[in-house]
Structures are given as structure tokens and as C-alpha cells.
Amino acid sequence: MWKYIAKRILIALGTLFFILFVLFILLSFMPGSPFNQLTLTAEQIAVLEAKYGLDKPLMIRFFIYVKNMLQGDFGVSYNIIADYPVIDLIGAKFWISAKLGLTATVVGTVLGLFLGLVASIKHNTWLDTGTTFLSVLGVSLPGYVFALALSYFIGFKMNLLPIVYSTKHPVSSLILPVLSMSMGPMAQIARYTRTEMLDVLGSDYMLLARTKGLSNRILFIRHALKNGLTPVITVLGPMLVSLMSGSMVVEQIFSVPGMGSLLVSAVQTNDYNVVLGVSFLYSLMFIVSMLVVDLLYGVIDPRISVSGGKKE
Amino acid sequence: MKKHIACILSAAMLLGLLASCGGTKNPQGESGKTVTIAKSILPAHVDPAYAGSADCSEIINMNAAGLYYVDGDNKVQLDLASAAVESEDHMSITYTIGEHYFYYADGSQGPRITAYDFEYAARRAIDPIASNDNQDTRMMNAGVKNARAIHDEGMDPKEIGVHATDENTLVIEFEVYIPYRDELLSGRNLAPQNQAFVEECGAKYGTSADTVLNSGAWLLTDFAVGSTSITLKTNPNFKGYDAGKANVDTVTFVQIQDSQQALLAYQNGDVDIVSLSGEQVVTYADDPAFVKFGQAAVTYLAVNCDEYSNDNLRRALSCALDKTALCDEVLLDGSIPAYFMVPYNLTTDGKGNDFRDTTKSYGQLDLAKAQSYWEAAKAEMGIDSVTLDFLITSDENAYTVGAWIQDQFQNALPGININLVTVPYESKMNYVMAGDYGFSVVTWGADYADPTAFLSCYVTGYPINVSHWSNAEYDQILSDCTVGSMASDLTARGAALQRAEEIFMDGASVIPLYQTSTCLLVRTNISGINYHLCGNTYDYRSMTA
């Protein structure tokens, strides 16, 4: 087990290094320079590029970046806030996106599990039809439709909640963005849960357990729920990362100063270090989440061996 | 199962409880008279040396003061200087910095503002490396000694002609007398900065309320990177011009990126001032809270003369656009058609008349003329048709305007095909700067009230001359009017600049589209905001509510 974990971590580090290298190469192909002020002369642009080491060959810049990064230095911003450390800039935005994404994942998962379980238990009843309809709606409609609808009816018409995010009211002003962002995950989880639970509830081992006289409660929690949830965990990791990395549209509608808008600003202004920093963080989050999900399989379902089967 | 349902119900109740925490009126919870202003973007910093964008300048204009202040009547007044004495040859001004000016931060008095702080600010602002890509050009245009050499020839910024002789005395030396130099020197990038404090803060200077020393009429009390609002309170100790005129205790800027959401927030009572865009302008044009003012900004098509060097081709394009229809049917935001490069209400012709009133209009819609230019171009170029690349940005408004212009050109001039090249918003300037474009929409706003704020951009070889257009007579006039014989002769200068505009428009290297206007909803109980045509647009120093 530990050998497997070590191996996976090594692979993850290698993947991260490779992603960083590809990002570095791609950024060098972006048109223009971070210094776009119309009044700057070619000589001044050259001086600015020398100041930030952008005049050095690509590979040397890459190794300097990696060396500094390993010491916790992700460089400075060129444009968004000149000379401001990228790590601090990301830090200021990341926690808002992370809070929003994490809360949306929790709310979406809880609601999705509830709807999926109700649909599977009350299979072929109006409750099943109703929850399936909600799931289809959640999958089909993009998050910004919910965002606009919630904003207009709950925020504006009913005046119950703020329609824009405020750092002064971080909880109440986060409810509408969270609800908007949780609709997609809710629908996805509900559909997965319903399908898996119906499969498990109709399986032979459930019939056997029932005939052995187990109570419905034990039957459901110990046997059905545990087996039915494995596929949900598969989608949960990437979903969490996706939501935590920020939704551009929902952030725009509710004015959440998160990672989505930071990345777009950085790409548009050729703020290379910020683009690299944010992209690296996304990659790190995704790879870690996949690793955690893989390891969780073994905990939840002992039939899945994380360290591989023994050779016969 | 019951447990699960209980958990979900608890979560729902928690959400309800959280919802009850959300007060929407006076969202910042400030006491006293508070004015809340919606902005689509808030500045990431308030460092005067880096303040290249309007959102930065608006805040800096509140919490910082400088040598001069432009009042509500657009008159330049001394601000943090007790006196200014001009030398007989007009080549230097000596300012007295009174001993009663201090910085304020955290509600307490900071160090004294000295002449050395102005000298340090000037060096930072003119240094292309220290100020990154927001290097000050106002000192250059004001004729401050060595500013042009620092910009063009890489001279050491310490050589700038702004020197403190002692704590109370600041001397600015000039290479040439520019009549409107006081206005140029009113820019907040020359606001005093305490060198020790700036160096102590390092890269974090101006990025939070704790890393700012306030010298202006307002105190920055709440500001941080990533914050959704910025709060300023009146500075009761401010001693500059119009001190104590505002009766508002707190001004809060809140970030609302989406214009529709901003309008809802205004209707909800959450904000007091909101910008209108597009069709919102038409909807609210008769509202008592509706405010409209023109800006000294012209949006135009810059045509790359390296790509399309035929003058008649460019002239054909310039006569083929119905700019009135563009403003009234497409933009709908209060902008007015532009048949000029120097906009209305910017400045006079040197004889007291509006510069525009005593000169010509250019590029009026004239399809017959456009057709004849196009026929001439075809003959000269030996072609029957041509495909022109039109660089636009990918946002919805730009695409709508781009598609409309494409349609106009193609209908008016058969044989001309317009190929829309779509790129992300800010990447566009990379292509334009590199000359890798056919023609593109560019907006240029004046930062001082003089025709040269627009016309200087198109001098041969100037970095802003993105059309790469060149005309020797034009260059000579601009040189004479900025650093030469006519720089201080206002009457001759006015006529010469009108001639320069005529030469420029005849070259059709740019096709003006419209002069931009700004439309707002301002609650009717709020007054005293000064809206400036150029430079810093909004001034709240005498705002009352």
C-alpha cells in the first residue's frame, strides 16, 4: 500500500513537472509582451523585459522558474499589480473561489444524494419522475441561468439575499452564488446515485441479505448505500476541483473576485507568472484529488485493490 | 434515512438563518451620510506611479492631492502648495509647500508632506522601470526639463527637472513654455509620496489601506487585494483647496461586474450611483436621476497604412460609414457621431471659441464620394476587389459593432470584402502594437485639455502612431506647437493645430466613429460631483447628499 502511494506521488510530481514545462512553452508562443503601454519605446520594453528576466533563453527561464518555485517563490506579477508576489495575489483570490466551490460541492452533493436516493427508493412513482425532471433540468441548463433567475427573484424581487458578493457579508452574499453553482453537481450526483442505487437494490446479494432477515435500515445503509456510493466518489474529485477553480460566468454575475477572473485578466495581459501560478495550482489540485479518489476506492470497496492483484 | 432527512432539513434551516444575516440596505453598515457607488472593476492598487487606468485614478484622486487641483469649473487651483511663483522667462516655477500639510493614515496624523516628497514622486512617475508600463507622459507634454530625454533617450530619471531645495521649496524647471502646463501637472501621479514609507512597503505599497499614506480630502479606510469594496472617509484635517466642502462622511465603491446586476442593485437601494450601458441609456433617459456628460475620448478605426497604403482606399472607407446610425441604432449609449479627431468641448481655438466650432467636419457619409475614391483606388492598385482584415475583440459589444461596420463597408463599396479577425480583448493591443492587423477599433481619451492630446499620437515614429502614418508638414506643425516657435502663441497655435487636423483627416489613417459619453443614474439627493471631460473623470471633493 505505502509503496503504491509513494509510486503514485512520484508519478504525480512527474506529471506536474511536465504540465509546467508545456505551460511554459505555450506561454512563450502567446503574441505580444506583458508591456503593452502605447507610450513605451522599444528600448524601454527591452529594459523592462531584462528587469524581469524575460530576455533570457526559454530553457534558462524555465529552470530559473522551477528553482525559485521549489523555494516557494512563484515570481511577481507584471501587470495586475506590478511587482506584487504571485503567491500573495493568488492567495487573495483562491480562498474565495475555494470557499465558493467547496460549499457548492457540499450543497450539490447533499442535495444530489438526497434526490438520487429518493428516486431510487421510490422508483417508478411521481417522486422518481419529479427528481429525474429536476436532474435533467440541472444538467441541461447552464449555471448562469440559475444565477440570473435566483438573482432576480430571490435577490431583487423578494429582497431576501444580496445580489452581489461582498467581503463584508461573506456568508449571506455567498448563498446565491453557491446555489447557482451547486445545481449542476446536484443533478449529476442525483443521476449517478439513482442509477447505481437501482442497480444495487436489484442485485442478487441484496435479495440474499433480505431473505436472511436483515432489517431495511441495515440493508440500506450497510449494503446498498456503501456499494452505491463508489461511482459518486469517482466524479466528486474532479467536480470539486472544477468548482473550486472558479466559474467565470457565476463570478461575473455575482461579482465574486475569484480565480476565474484572475486567470482571464492574467491571460489577457500576458502576465506570465500569474498564468503559470494559477495553472500550476489547478493542475496540483486535480492531480491530488485524483490520487485521493483512487486511494478512497480501496477504503470504501475492498474488492478494489489499490496496490494491484497478486500474480497467480 | 430519517437521519439523512434531518441533516438536509438542518442544512436548509442553516441556509435560512444565513439568509437572515444578509441586510441589503446600507450594505457596508456605515454610519453617517454614506454614498455607495457601483463600479464594474475596482483597482488592484492605488500607487500613484502605476495609476494608468481610470479606476485607479478615481480612487487616487480622492485619497491623494497634488500641487494642483482642477475645480468644478475646470479651473486649475493650487492644492498642496501655499504659493507658486513663476520666473520671468516662464522657465521655472517655485512652489512653497506649507508646514501644515501632513499625511494621514489609520485615523492619525503621519509625517509632514515636504517638497522632497514631490521630487520623489516625479522621479517614480517618469521612470519607465519603476512605474512599469504606466510611465508618466504629462511631464513630458508639460515641457518639464529632461522629461522627454528620460522618455526617449533613457536619461537617468534623477535628472528630471523637479527639485526640492529644502523641505518647503520645490522648483520645477521647464524646457519650453506650455500654456496649459498647470493642468498637466495636476495629475495625481505627481501626488507627494514619502520615500521612506514607499521603500518600507516595497512591492506592497498602495495595495491595502495599511500601505497607503493619505494626502487628499478622503482617507482610504478599507481596501485590500481581492476585496469587493473600497471605503473612504472624509479627511477632517485636509488643508488643500475646497477642504471641508463635502458633507458626505463615507464613500463606498462596490464592485458589480455585470451592468444588469448593477442596475438591480440601484433599484434595490443598495447603491446610489450606477453607470448605464447600451439600451439602459434609452430606458432611463427621462429618469430624474439620469446624468449624461461627454468625454474627451474618440473611438475610431485605426487603419494600418503599411497594409493598406493606398490613400484613396482609406478615403473611400472614411466616407462609407453612417455614423449617426451607429450611435442611434447600434450603440444606444449616448455617444455622438465623430467627424473629427479633436472632440467637442475639449479646448478652444486660441480665440475663445470651441476648437470644433471654427474648423471643418471630416468623414461625413457620402456614398457617391466613397464610390469615386474606391474607383480611383482600384485603378491605382490594379485590382477589382480586395479583402480587408478587421481586427475585433471577442466580446459581444465589439462583435456587434464589428459586424455592423463590416455590413456597411461591404454594402457601400462592392468589391470590398471585410474579414473579421476575432481575438481576446486585451490581446488585441498586442496585434495592433506589432502592426499585425488591417484595421481595428481603438479608443483614445485625452488626459489633458489640448488638441495635441490627440494629434501628437500620430507624429511619425511615435509609439502610439499605430497606423504608421507619416506626413512631414504635420510633424512640423506638431513640433512647432509643442516644443517650438508656436508653443506659447495660443492664437497661431490654434489655427496651426486646426490645419494639422485637416492634414491628418485627409490622410484617412484613422476613421473617427464616435465621441463617447457617459450616462449614470445618480440619486437626486446627491449633488456636487464634478464630471471632468478629460483626466480624472469623477471628482467627489465637494459632493453633498
The predicted-structure confidence for A123-182, as pLDDT tens digits, reads as follows 888 888 888 888 888 888 887 888 889 888 888 888 888 888 887 788 888 899 999 888
Are A7 and A311 in contact, with CB atoms under 8 Å apart?
Answer: no
Pick from B19, B207, B426: CB nearest A269: B426
Chain A residue with minimum CA distance to B435? A32
Full-model pTM = 0.79
pLDDT value of position A229? 78
Helix (H) or strand (E) holding B497: helix B490-507
Grid cell locating B42: 475596482
Please report, for residues A237, A282, B16, the alpha-carbon distance to residue A105 in angstroms, rounded to integers and kept in the order given: 10, 16, 19
pLDDT value of position B449? 82
Q: Is the pLDDT assigned to residue A4 strictly greater than 90?
A: no
Fold of B296-517: Dipeptide-binding Protein; domain 3 (3.10.105)
ipTM score above 0.90: no
Q: Which of B429, B461, B451 is nearest to B505 (CA)?
A: B451
Amino acid identity, position A186: M
Are B155 and B24 in contact, with CB atoms under 8 Å apart?
Answer: no
pLDDT value of position A304? 64
pLDDT value of position B487? 76
pLDDT value of position B389? 92
Q: Is the pLDDT assigned to residue A10 strictly greater than 60?
A: yes
Interchain proximity B1–A48, CB inside 8 Å: no
Interchain proximity A83–B463, CB inside 8 Å: no
State the best of A27, A29, A37 to mutate against chain B, taking most chain B CBs within 10 Å: A37
The parts of chain B modelled with pLDDT lower than 70 are: 1-31, 52-53, 130-136, 425-426
pLDDT value of position A301? 67
Collect all residues of chain B within an 8 Å Cβ-Cβ radius of residue A84: 44-45, 203-204, 207, 225
Q: How many contacts (CB atoms, under 8 Å) link A and B?
A: 190
Q: How far is A113 from chain B (nearest CA, A)?
A: 10
pLDDT tens-place string over residues B140-155? 888 899 988 887 788 8
pLDDT value of position B417? 93
Interchain proximity B424–A267, CB inside 8 Å: yes
Grid cell locating B20: 437572515
Report the mean per-residue pLDDT for chain A.
Answer: 83
pLDDT value of position B5? 43
- Does 3.40.190.10 match the CATH number of domain B34-268+523-539? yes
pLDDT value of position B135? 56
pLDDT value of position B19? 39
Please report, for residues B59, B301, B384, B524, the alpha-carbon distance to residue B413 in angstroms, rounded to integers and kept in the order given: 47, 17, 11, 49
| Percent of chain B whose predicted confidence (pLDDT) is above 70 | 92
Q: How far is A30 from chain B (nearest CA, A)?
A: 9
- Checking phi first, is residue A185 left (phi over 0); if not, alpha (psi -120 to 50) or beta? alpha
pLDDT value of position B251? 93
Print the domain residue range for A179. Answer: 1-312
Q: Is the pLDDT assigned to residue A277 strictly greater than 70?
A: yes
Q: What is the CATH number of the domain that holds A218?
A: 1.10.3720.10
pLDDT tens-place string over residues A90-123? 888 888 888 888 899 899 989 998 888 888 888 8
Chain B residue with minimum CA distance to A165? B228
- Is residue A99 helix, strand or coil? helix
pLDDT value of position B2? 44
Q: How far is A194 from chain B (nearest CA, A)?
A: 15
pLDDT value of position B130? 65
Residues in chain A: 312
pLDDT value of position B246? 84
- Is residue B50 helix, strand or coil? helix
Instruction: Name the domain count of chain A.
Output: 1
Alpha-carbon Rg for chain A, nearest whole angstrom, is 24
Chain B residue with minimum CA distance to A93? B226
Please list, residue by residue across B473-499, b when 16 or more beta carbons sit within 10 angstroms of its beta carbon and e when fewer do. ebbebbebbbbeebbeebeebbbbbbe
B428 vs B439: CA distance, rounded Å:
11
Pick from A51, A167, A217: CB nearest B227: A167
Confidence of residue A311 (pLDDT cuts 50, 70, 90): very low
